[in-house]
Amino acid sequence: MKNVVILCVIAGLLGGSIGYIVPVVIEYNKLFSVAILAGIESVCSAIKLIIRDKFKGNIFIITFFANVIIAVLFVFIGDSLGLDLYYVILLALGFKLLQDLDVVKTYIFTK
């Protein structure tokens, strides 16, 4: 568990520094924000599974990339059709993220 947390911190710092250095085209801000939120939600789901002793690394990798790709595709298709699916995806991922964080919070405070 300690190794996973250390890897998550290192990956977050590395990704944050790369994101700070590399410029982002303004047209893609919605896509990047949804991709980042989907990634954060996948990591929080993995932490929840680690707490419940049901974590599997290969499933996490597949789920992580699938969540990010599907969320970005929904936003891209919505923008192409003139629909604001961006807000729907943010709302859905936000609710799921809060549910995962609730499990983590409950584990921390009852431990």
Query: pLDDT tens digits for 66-89?
Result: 999 999 999 999 999 998 889 999
Confidence of residue 2 (pLDDT cuts 50, 70, 90): low
Reply yes or no on whether the pLDDT at 8 is more than 80: no
C-alpha to C-alpha distances, 99 to 3, 16, 27, 30, 87, nearest whole angstrom = 24, 25, 31, 23, 18
pLDDT of residue 76: 93
Count other Cβ atoms within 10 Å, centred on residue 54.
9
pTM higher than 0.75, yes or no? yes
